[in-house]
A and B are shown apart, each in its own frame.
Chain A
Amino acid sequence: MTKNTAFRKHILAAATMMAMTFTATGASAAEKVTLQLKWVPQAQFAGYYVAQEKGFYKDAGLDVTIKPGGTDISPVQVIAGKSADVIVNWMPDALAAREAGVPLVNISQVFDRSGLMLTCKKASGISSPKDLKGKTLGVWFGGNEYPFFNWMNKLGYKPDVDIKVLKQGFNVDPLLQGQADCISTMNYNEYWQLIDAGMKPEELITFAYEDQGVSTLEDGLYVLEPNLKNKAFVSKMAKFVKASLQGWNYAVSHPKEAAEIVVGQDASGAATLEVQQRQMENVAKLISHANTKQMGYLEPAAYKRTVSVLLSGGSSPVIKKDPGDKAMSHVVWDAASKL
């Protein structure tokens, strides 16, 4: 920082005491970014926590606030209420929200594979998706039900006619208690909770959405479309994306350290190191481009596949019209790779 800018900063500070609005020009004050996560602090978001803890954000000249999510916190609502600049969200939810009038745009896709699975007890006589008919299935709602209903539609099963759907809470008890034959699980989280609870892998059978051809893109970064017209915002986001991806690369290479960082960030004191480390190792499997040039790049083909899966919802598709290329943008990612 030259003397000149320092002097100018003083003048600026004096002049804007009332308004407290620092323009990004001249002042090298850290730019503020607020990130809203989809769920509680866990290794699913390790990259952001690592970037925070390791100072990657700070080095990029950013002051990042990471807001954890919760049961009824919808990241979309938060960003629509202007309480966040960027959110982590799944693409089905983001596109549905876009249709509901919140113009979300994907700026970077971190997970290129889906971790969503349906896990069933073998004892309930299920060995292939055909056997799901007449069974009770636990499904997460809250924007995560779209892939499931698409899949059932593909199988030709009507909810509440051919299958009984339960609104699954956010744990695996329904399967343990025998209240459901199958439940939704993530391959990095709930599946292992079942194993931890004493189920044996050979007692379970899992159907990964990825294998059923009904997978949709999961954790990606989304911003509001009008903001992308603002050059300053795009450059700020480029720094953010670059630092976040750096954090992700680090987390994938150092799962143990990443897990420690995540556990340290959990204000509720419920996360444990061993669980988070295992989760980190499994999350790493969903990021096949880690430590490559392609990291964080949203493949247009994958985007189109997700859109077509969501459009094929039969009587009640998730989205009614194709958003075209409007819901994705490489502007930020391109700028980030040039930094």
Chain B
Amino acid sequence: MNTETFRQHVLPVSVIVLAAILFWYCLTIGLNAPGAIARVLPKNGHWGYGDFVLTTLNMARPVLPAPHQILLDIWHSLTQWSLSSPRNLLLHTWVTASAALTGFSMGVVLGLLLAVCIVHSQTLDKALLPWIVASQTVPVLAIAPIVLIILGSLGITGLLPKAVIAMYLCFFPVTVAMVQGLRSPQKLEMELLHTYATGKLDTFWLLRLPASLPFLFPAFRVAIASGLVGTMVAELPTGAQAGLGARLLTGSYYGNTIQIWSALVMASLLGLLLTALVSLLERIVMRTRRTV
């Protein structure tokens, strides 16, 4: 079993990751070369190939930081500061994660409600669905400051406005997938239940909901990812408070490229964790369903 897991998972992942890291290092050298030659290396041209590579991999303001620079930066941030310090990345990660999860939960509830309404009401289907699509084309970042100010004037600050923006992004994929899923049962199955004189509610529980599950989980994965992005977008106009979005903004602003990438890596890891949680949930739920 152990060698099996190794062959099935560990080996492929590590091979791909190694290839990616190698590619990254080459890219780092290439992208940082002009800056290194112009600003860091001695102007008289007295430098060898080794100096050149070392310089490009250890620049203070690189175009692309090398992986070890980012890992070191994250490591320092996690080990040298207490968990409550704004210099500790875990604090920012938690701030972002809590808002994203709140938004995701709100978005899923809203999405499911909308989908159920749309499937069961002709009026809503015709009146609402086009607008739900249109709602997603409204650029969130443009709306975010307005949302924050309106909510702020109502006295709502802190986590909730960010969660609202995340919800705005989360509910859409859930709604679309759920509508599709609830409508996916075959005519045959629907008619069978009809002959049993099953009510709308029972049809929903017995047939429509189980049939929609395969559609739902991929949507959850997309939703949690976009919810995370939404949260980080909302952290920009909140005025550089805590959060990974704020880290990105200030990093970009102070020209601290390594900080940007550290925040990005943390955000990706957070996203990975969240999608992994969704996948775990999917496994648990799907296991209870006996598929053919």
Determine if chain A interacts with chain B.
Answer: yes
Contact flag A77-B86 (CB < 8 Å), given A71-B236, A193-B255: no
Q: How many A-B contacts at CB < 8 Å in the complex?
A: 111
Report the Cα distance A74→B145, complex, angstroms. 8
Question: How close is A63's CB to chain B, nearest CB, in angstroms?
Answer: 16
Report the Cα distance A177→B30, complex, angstroms. 14
| Contacts of B221-270 to chain A: CB distance below 8 A | 236-243, 246-247, 249-256, 259
Interface centre among B63, B86, B243, B259 (most CB of A within 10 A): B86
Q: Are B39 and A199 closer than 8 Å at their CB atoms?
A: yes
Partner of B246, one of A74, A173, A178, A267: A267
| Chain B residue, CB-CB nearest to A79 | B149
Q: Are A83 and B153 closer than 8 Å at their CB atoms?
A: yes
Q: Are A72 and B145 closer than 8 Å at their CB atoms?
A: yes
Partner of A270, one of B38, B40, B247: B247
Whether, in the assembled complex, A73 has its beta carbon less than 8 Å from a beta carbon of chain B, the answer is yes
Q: Are B247 and A268 closer than 8 Å at their CB atoms?
A: yes
Across-interface contacts of B255 in A (CB, < 8 A): 171-173, 193, 196-197
Query: Beta-carbon contacts of A296-334 to B below 8 Å, as 1s and 0s?
Result: 000000000000000000000000000000000000000
Q: Are A81 and B149 closer than 8 Å at their CB atoms?
A: yes
Report the Cα distance A81→B154, complex, angstroms. 10
Report the Cα distance A275→B253, complex, angstroms. 13
Across-interface contacts of A199 in B (CB, < 8 A): 39
| Chain B residue, CB-CB nearest to A177 | B63
Partner of A198, one of B61, B86, B144, B259: B61
Partner of A267, one of B63, B148, B242, B251: B242
Question: How close is A290's CB to chain B, nearest CB, in angstroms?
Answer: 26
Report the Cα distance A297→B60, complex, angstroms. 42
Q: Are A198 and B241 closer than 8 Å at their CB atoms?
A: no
Whether, in the assembled complex, B158 has its beta carbon less than 8 Å from a beta carbon of chain A, the answer is no
Question: How close is A124's CB to chain B, nearest CB, in angstroms?
Answer: 13
Across-interface contacts of B251 in A (CB, < 8 A): 270
Q: Are B146 and A68 closer than 8 Å at their CB atoms?
A: no
| Contacts of B115-142 to chain A: CB distance below 8 A | 141-142
Question: How close is A266's CB to chain B, nearest CB, in angstroms?
Answer: 7
Partner of A73, one of B34, B145, B150, B259: B145
Report the Cα distance A270→B250, complex, angstroms. 6
Partner of B249, one of A40, A78, A272: A40
Whether, in the assembled complex, B198 has its beta carbon less than 8 Å from a beta carbon of chain A, the answer is no
Report the Cα distance A170→B243, complex, angstroms. 19
Whether, in the assembled complex, B12 has its beta carbon less than 8 Å from a beta carbon of chain A, the answer is no
| Contacts of B84-121 to chain A: CB distance below 8 A | 85-88, 92
Report the Cα distance A240→B148, complex, angstroms. 26
| Chain A residue, CB-CB nearest to B144 | A72
Partner of B61, one of A70, A73, A197, A272: A197
Question: How close is A306's CB to chain B, nearest CB, in angstroms?
Answer: 26
Report the Cα distance A270→B38, complex, angstroms. 27
Q: Are B153 and A71 closer than 8 Å at their CB atoms?
A: no
Q: Are B145 and A171 closer than 8 Å at their CB atoms?
A: no
Across-interface contacts of A74 in B (CB, < 8 A): 145
Q: Are B239 and A83 closer than 8 Å at their CB atoms?
A: no
Across-interface contacts of A268 in B (CB, < 8 A): 86, 92, 240-243, 246-247, 249-250
Whether, in the assembled complex, B35 has its beta carbon less than 8 Å from a beta carbon of chain A, the answer is yes
Across-interface contacts of B141 in A (CB, < 8 A): 72
Query: Beta-carbon contacts of A174-196 to B below 8 Å, as 1s and 0s?
Result: 00111000000000000001001
Whether, in the assembled complex, A169 has its beta carbon less than 8 Å from a beta carbon of chain B, the answer is yes
| Chain A residue, CB-CB nearest to B40 | A198
| Contacts of B251-292 to chain A: CB distance below 8 A | 251-256, 259
Whether, in the assembled complex, B152 has its beta carbon less than 8 Å from a beta carbon of chain A, the answer is yes
Beyond A77-B145, A172-B255, 4 additional contacts (C-beta under 8 Å) are A73-B239, A169-B252, A176-B39, A268-B247
Give residues in A with beta carbon < 8 Å to B. Answer: 37, 40-41, 67-74, 77-78, 81-83, 169-173, 176-178, 193, 196-199, 266-272, 275
10 closest pairs, A vs B, by CB?
Answer: A198-B39, A269-B86, A270-B250, A269-B87, A70-B239, A40-B240, A68-B239, A81-B149, A72-B237, A83-B152
Q: What are 7 A-to-B residue pairs whose CB atoms are below 8 Å?
A: A70-B237, A72-B237, A78-B149, A171-B254, A198-B40, A198-B61, A266-B86
